[in-house]
Amino acid sequence: MRLKYEAKNAWEFERENNKLDDVMNYSKGYMHFLDVGKTERTSAREIVRMAKENGYISIDEAMNNGKVNPGDKIYAVNKDKAVALFIMGKNKLENGMKIIGGHIDSPRIDLKPHPLYQEANLGFFKTHYYGGIKKYQWSTIPLAIHGLIILNDGQKVDICIGEDENDPVFCITDLLPHLAQDQMQKKLADGITGEQLNLLIGSIPLEGSEKEAIEENILKILNSKYGIIEEDLLSAEIEIVPAGKARDLGLDRSMVLAYGHDDRVCSYGAVKALIDTKDPEYCAVALCVDKEEVGSQGNTGMHSKFFENTVAELIELEGNYSELKVRRAMANSKVLSADVSAGYDPNYSEVYDKRNSAYMGHGLVLSKYTGSRGKGGCNDANAEFMAEVRRIFNQGNVVWQTAELGKVDQGGGGTIAYILANYGAEVIDCGIGVLNMHSPYEIVSKVDMYEMYKGYKAVSYTHLTLPTTERV
């Protein structure tokens, strides 16, 4: 019996088990997912594509069939921004579900409703940042425009400019150091203000136009390519994200540098784990929602009734519907809140508790609680459930660790965990460590991603009954 706890290095563990090729192959699928899913809409679209490719049918099709059976694979989409995948279990829904729940929105920059203007012979879009960002990180880097525009006739137009190698890219400007003496004296948070995050988009005036000629030329280009007039921009959803694909990082290619790891890395892991799950005892669920970065509000966030309503529809299809069964299904569920943690960065060691940090390459991270300072806003998982998850991971040969976000007084953060816990479900935060979190380019370890996938799959399959014997 080993009395002292020692964390494992996941690279060494998987090398001993001859699984390094599996680690690298898993990352390739994930990197493709990031490249095609840079917004919540495109992420949801890719999840649905993956689901259909693996035999899932829509909730509408299931409702037309009039029933569900054990083993049925079903997906539900919420306003093109959130997705839930279900594999019906051998047990009825009222006995609970095994849920892996993440989010597919990421910090970014959005366009304001009336964005277009020109000044000093330059054309710009006004922006409004989304989520917790360091504003200065978004200047001077190549940016792409993604989004959805609804034309006056109701036609939907998808926008993607800056991802193809032949596309132009865009940029938020910054002040040259020679003239930045005043700027450099400011606090880092104030070096670039929200109102200075203006996207540079052009500079050629429209021939023959005397007033706002650069604006006119930009509108002419947009109209010729997409059929857009300026009024269409007022109702559009346009997001500004870093241009370019996910890339291997390091001479050993051990990490991935990309936009959107928080939290598409966990959402992809949940989806992939569910796709690879067969005939679970209890209904297995991958839940990927929107709006987590701004509080999970709105009709596509975790606070919406989308998931609960979908569960109610499935219980109706099981037969003998009652509202009580819906409540039981939610309360009897066991949930991994699939969200990332702060990876330990030795360059900034002063903000971390070294004994309670997520170390890169040490596997999946269990966080008993998140929140800030005095556990404000946390879920704080029950010891019984954390012990159950621990057993599952150990039985499944998953390399895992525990962590907090950082030192107690430094701050903190939250996830969707507390929202699902409000139903009475057992919930614990479970993801991987990330460096550069909430920046345009975040970093994750490939082996941590693989351990996460193994852990999520093990939970989807396994249902442990806790020992009833109590020690006094």
Give domain 108-242's CATH number out of 3.30.750.24, 2.30.250.10, 1.20.120.1200, 3.90.1150.10: 2.30.250.10
Burial-class residue 5 by CB neighbours within 10 Å (0-12, 13-18, 19+). exposed
Those residues whose C-beta lies under 8 Å from the C-beta of residue 133, and which sit 6 or more positions away, are 107, 108, 109, 438, 439
Q: Over range 284-295, report the average pLDDT.
A: 96
Amino acid 462: pLDDT? 63
- Between CA 145 and CA 243 the distance in angstroms is 8
For 189, counting Cβ atoms within 10 Å of its Cβ (0-12 exposed, 13-18 middle, 19+ buried), the class is: exposed
Q: Are 96 and 329 in contact (CB under 8 A)?
A: yes
DSSP result, 55-75: T-EEHHHHHHHT---TT-EEE
Task: Name the segment(s) of the chain with CATH classification 3.40.630.10.
Answer: 10-106+259-461
Q: Which backbone phi and psi does 65 adopt, to 5 degrees? A: -70, -30
Q: Are the C-beta atoms of 131 and 301 separated by less than 8 Å?
A: no
362 contacts 7 by C-beta, under 8 angstroms: yes
Q: State yes or no: pLDDT of 466 exceeds 70.
A: no
Rounded to the nearest 10 degrees, how much is the dihedral formed by the CA atoms of 41, 42, 46, 48?
Answer: 20
Residues 6+ apart with CB under 8 A from 456: 100, 269, 270, 273, 274, 336, 338, 430
The per-residue pLDDT for 2 is 79
DSSP per-residue letters across 162-197: SSSTTS--BEE----GGG-HHHHTS-GGGSS-GGG-
Q: Is the peptide bond before 174 cis (omega within 30 degrees of 0)?
A: no
* Per-residue confidence (pLDDT) for residue 468, from 0 to 100: 42
pLDDT of residue 460 exceeding 90: no
Q: Give the C-alpha separation, 113 to 216, whole Å.
A: 18
pLDDT of residue 239: 98
Tokens, residue 231:
């009024």
* The model scores a pTM over 0.85: yes
Amino acid code (one letter) for 374: G
- Per-residue pLDDT at 277 exceeds 60: yes
Q: By mean pLDDT, which of 9-23, 83-97, 365-379 is the weakest? A: 365-379
For residues 336 and 428, the answer to whether their CB atoms sit within 8 Å is yes
Q: What is the mean pLDDT of residues 311-333?
A: 97
Q: Which of 447, 453, 456 is nearest to 10 (CA)?
A: 447
DSSP one-letter code for 427: E
Whether 118 and 214 have beta carbons less than 8 Å apart is answered as yes
Residue 471 scores a pLDDT above 50 = no
CA distances from 284 to 62, 82, 89, 381 (A): 17, 17, 7, 20
CA dihedral 181, 186, 187, 190 (to 10 degrees): -110
Instruction: Say yes or no to pLDDT of 275 above 70.
Output: yes
Give the per-residue pLDDT at 4.
Answer: 85
CATH superfamily entry for domain 10-106+259-461:
Zn peptidases (3.40.630.10)
pLDDT at position 138: 98
pLDDT of res. 469: 42
Q: Reply yes or no on whether the pLDDT at 144 is more than 70.
A: yes
* Residue 63: half-sphere exposure toward Cβ, Cα within 13 Å: 11
Query: What integer is the mean pLDDT of 144-154?
Result: 94
- Residues of the chain within CATH 2.30.250.10 domain(s) are 108-242
Q: What average pLDDT does the segment 433-439 reach?
A: 97
Confidence of residue 377 (pLDDT cuts 50, 70, 90): confident
User: In the predicted model, what is the mean pLDDT of residues 97-112?
Assistant: 97
Residue 287 pairs with which residues in a beta bridge? 84, 101
Question: Contact at 8 Å (CB) between 120 and 354?
Answer: no
Q: What is the pairing mode between strands 433-434 and 341-342?
A: parallel
How far apart are the C-alpha atoms of 100 and 88, rounded to whole Å?
A: 14
pLDDT averaged over the chain? 94
pLDDT digits 0-9 by tens, 27-79? 999 999 999 999 999 999 999 999 999 999 999 999 999 999 999 999 999 99
With contact defined as beta carbons under 8 Å apart, do 104 and 183 qualify? no
Q: What pLDDT does residue 463 have?
A: 54
Closest by CA to 310, choosing from 55, 60, 56, 92, is 60
Locate 278 and state its tokens.
Answer: 């067969």
What percent of the chain is predicted at pLDDT more than 70? 97
